[in-house]
């Protein structure tokens, strides 16, 4: 997951850029680089490995890290085109070494552009699609020397996605940023501006930010942002205020962000439900949806789209819609949804779920649903994100920044918000006030229940240690616990590199049970509810009969 930082202002650029990269380290990367304009020349330093290596190299090149440069761009790269070598690390330079570019996304037609430029005499030093874009900008710059014009012309030629920041040796008064399908946020401070792919890199400098829309190109100077479209026609984008506190993107004594965010859940869920439960009427107050009860009663079906963890949360929402609102509901993996020909009607409610609000497939699904005339609502965490803006009406999670790539608190807040949406729809339909009140009280109780689970931290850690050497694991659940099992398996894969599968517990006997052998850990989520508990006990017996090891969450 690549990260972009750009800076122009009064401070030593290397300090701002390196500290911005450190704030993006959580996203994972395998090389890093920085480029500065210095004495009218572009200086580039790159290293494979960690930002610490890059920082060391910068300090070796410039004692004390003092470069006297006030403008630059920097990047952390997660290898896609070519291995994580120094040559493939960003920034990339153009043929004339006048433009330095950092790029997130994929230039799909890079082979074609590369051959065209090679035929004109360009020599490439990396395997990346990004270097091709740097050369293309340089090629246009050779025409009339207009940096902005060259960036716009190059971006008009590329197919695919980009979030970029670029500097030019001949024009050190600006950084140019642009986006299509890959987020860019610009922080506007006092006599300084910072560009980043993620607001976490901006908040230490300023809370005043501008989010770029697709095909926006921004000319960024110290304290100003001038936005154009790809044809260089001015467009207007609002400045918004980042709600995050300065310390929200810091570890605050935790060993890593995932642990911090796991422990933040009671508070984040409280924030997600605060002021949104109406106990008298047994319903939820979700003004962001912007609908009357009458409009809600006209909705015939809910289609919930998302990816990964957000899709798993959506599945909990599907069950809640069916149970609370008596309404047909379906969950769709966003990429599958966008590339099929989904049958959507004007009476459908499409709910797009995304922590970041920037996931390309979910965004494309939103656009497809809007195009087809559905009522589309977004459940996002990042305020001002593209999905939040494009859906117009939606509900923020208020989970606070989720820095860890592995989603935790966003999942539980998504579930809490979906329960409230289903409750509201239920109350506009046949759900009784009394049942609505019960559900509202149950939702209100969630943070405290989470606190009680977190008190078992040490016990859970000891249990995890016992299983740390295992190669495979199963997660089983029924009903609402099935998506939870899927989410558990996703987390184990992502964090521990242990192969894990989530299944509806009843599905085990239809084949997967063949894999249950001696000592195979099977996590079974078995809450004591009326419908599923006894049946789940039966599934536990099946596992034990094959000498699998049951880890019951009960
Ligand atoms: O930002 P989004 O919720 O749209 O991201 C979608 C997925 O990439 C994300 O949920 C992913 O599966 C989790 N980070 C995994 O822990």
- Check whether 246 has a pLDDT greater than 70: no
- Check whether 248 has a pLDDT greater than 90: no
Q: Which atom of ligand 1 is nearest to the CA of 382?
A: 1
CA of 418 to the centre of ligand 1 (A): 16
CB neighbour burial string for 507-546, b if at least 16 within 10 angstroms, e if fewer: ebeeeebeebeeebbbbbbbeeeeebeeebeebbebbeee
Please say whether the beta carbons of 447 and 418 come within 8 A.
no
CA of 353 to the centre of ligand 1 (A): 10
- Check whether 245 has a pLDDT greater than 80: no
- Check whether 80 has a pLDDT greater than 90: no
Label residue 267 by pLDDT band (50, 70, 90). very high
Averaged pLDDT for residues 478-502: 96
Residue 280 φ/ψ, nearest 5 degrees: -65, -45
- Check whether 1 has a pLDDT greater than 80: no
Bigger pLDDT: 244 vs 297: 297
Per residue in 281-298, pLDDT (tens digit) is 999 999 888 778 888 888
Strand partners, 379: 353, 395
The pLDDT score that the predictor gives to residue 39 is 79
List of residues 6+ apart from 337 with CB closer than 8 A: 303, 305, 365, 368
Q: Is residue 1 within 6 Å of ligand 1 at its C-beta?
A: no
CA of 480 to the centre of ligand 1 (A): 20
Average pLDDT value for the chain: 93
Q: Alpha-carbon distance 306 to 333, whole Å?
A: 6
- Check whether 81 has a pLDDT greater than 90: no
List of residues 6+ apart from 434 with CB closer than 8 A: 282
**Closest by CA position to 351, among listed 315, 384, 323, 385:** 315
**Closest by CA position to 176, among listed 4, 420, 48:** 4
What residue's CA is closest to ligand 1, atom 7? Answer: 308
Q: Is residue 436 within 6 Å of ligand 1 at its C-beta?
A: no
**H or E stretch at 132:** helix 129-144
CA of 483 to the centre of ligand 1 (A): 15
Radius of gyration of the chain (CA): 25
Label residue 435 by pLDDT band (50, 70, 90). very high
Q: Is residue 310 within 6 Å of ligand 1 at its C-beta?
A: yes
Q: Is residue 495 within 6 Å of ligand 1 at its C-beta?
A: no
CA of 517 to the centre of ligand 1 (A): 32
Per residue in 368-424, pLDDT (tens digit) is 999 999 999 999 998 888 899 899 888 999 998 898 889 999 999 999 999 999 999
What residue's CA is closest to ligand 1, atom 8? Answer: 308
- Check whether 52 has a pLDDT greater than 70: yes
> pLDDT exceeding 70 applies to what percent of the chain?
99
The pLDDT score that the predictor gives to residue 385 is 86
**Closest by CA position to 21, among listed 33, 11, 30, 35:** 33
List of residues 6+ apart from 496 with CB closer than 8 A: 468
Residue 433 φ/ψ, nearest 5 degrees: -60, -40
Q: Is residue 91 within 6 Å of ligand 1 at its C-beta?
A: no
What residue's CA is closest to ligand 1, atom 11? Answer: 308
Residue 14 φ/ψ, nearest 5 degrees: -60, -40
What residue's CA is closest to ligand 1, atom 4? Answer: 354
Candidate from 258, 262, 310, 312 with most ligand 1 atoms within 8 A of CB, to mutate:
310
Q: Is residue 307 within 6 Å of ligand 1 at its C-beta?
A: yes
């Amino acid at each position: 997951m690549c990260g972009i930082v750009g800076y122009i202002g009064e401070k030593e650029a290397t300090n701002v850029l390196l500290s911005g990269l450190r704030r993006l380290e959580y996203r994972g990367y395998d090389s890093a680089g920085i480029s500065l304009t210095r004495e009218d020349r572009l200086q580039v330093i790159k290293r494979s490995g960690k930002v610490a290596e890059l920082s060391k190299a910068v300090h070796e090149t410039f004692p004390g890290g003092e470069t006297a440069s006030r403008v630059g761009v920097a990047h952390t790269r997660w290898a896609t085109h070519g291995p994580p070598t120094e040559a493939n690390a960003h920034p990339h330079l153009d043929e004339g070494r006048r433009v330095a570019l950092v790029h997130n996304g994929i230039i799909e037609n890079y082979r074609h552009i590369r051959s065209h430029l090679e035929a004109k005499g360009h020599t490439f030093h990396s395997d990346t699609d990004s270097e091709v874009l740097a050369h293309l900008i340089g090629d246009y710059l050779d025409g009339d020397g207009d940096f902005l014009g060259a960036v716009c012309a190059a971006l008009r030629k590329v197919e695919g996605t980009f979030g970029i920041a670029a500097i030019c040796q001949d024009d050190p008064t600006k950084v140019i940023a642009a986006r299509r399908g890959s987020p860019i946020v610009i922080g506007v401070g006092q006599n300084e501006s910072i560009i980043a792919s993620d607001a976490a890199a901006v908040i230490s400098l300023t809370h005043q930010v501008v989010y770029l829309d697709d095909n926006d190109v921004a000319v960024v100077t110290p304290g100003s942002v001038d936005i154009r479209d790809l044809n260089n026609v001015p467009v207007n984008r609002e400045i918004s205020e980042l709600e995050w506190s300065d310390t929200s993107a810091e570890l605050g004594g935790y060993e890593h962000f995932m642990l911090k965010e796991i422990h933040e859940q009671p508070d984040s869920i409280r924030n997600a439900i605060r002021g949104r439960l109406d106990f008298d009427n047994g319903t939820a107050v979700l003004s962001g949806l912007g609908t009357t009860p009458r409009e809600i009663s006209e909705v015939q079906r809910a289609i919930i789209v998302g990816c990964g963890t957000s899709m798993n949360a959506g599945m909990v929402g599907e069950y809640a819609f069916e149970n609370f609102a008596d309404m047909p509901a379906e969950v769709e993996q966003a990429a599958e949804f966008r590339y099929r020909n989904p049958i959507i009607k004007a009476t459908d409610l499409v709910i797009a779920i995304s922590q970041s609000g920037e996931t390309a497939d979910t965004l494309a699904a939103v656009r497809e649903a809007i195009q087809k005339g559905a009522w589309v609502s977004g459940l996002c965490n990042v305020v001002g994100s593209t999905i939040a803006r494009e859906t117009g009406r939606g509900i923020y999670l208020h989970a606070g920044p989720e820095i860890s790539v592995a989603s935790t608190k966003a999942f539980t807040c998504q579930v809490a918000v979906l329960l409230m949406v289903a409750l509201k729809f239920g109350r506009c339909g046949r759900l009784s006030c009394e049942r609505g009140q019960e559900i509202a009280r149950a939702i209100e109780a969630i943070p405290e229940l989470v606190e009680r689970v977190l008190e078992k931290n040490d016990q859970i850690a000891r249990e995890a240690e016992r299983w740390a050497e295992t190669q495979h694991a199963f997660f089983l659940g029924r009903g609402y616990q099935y998506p939870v099992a899927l989410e558990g398996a996703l987390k184990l894969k992502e964090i521990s590199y242990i192969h894990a599968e989530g299944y509806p517990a009843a599905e085990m006997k239809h084949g997967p049970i063949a894999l249950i052998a001696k000592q195979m850990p099977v996590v079974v989520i078995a809450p004591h509810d009326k419908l599923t508990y006894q049946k789940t006990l039966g599934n536990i017996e099946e596992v034990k009969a094959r000498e699998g090891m049951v880890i019951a969450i009960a």
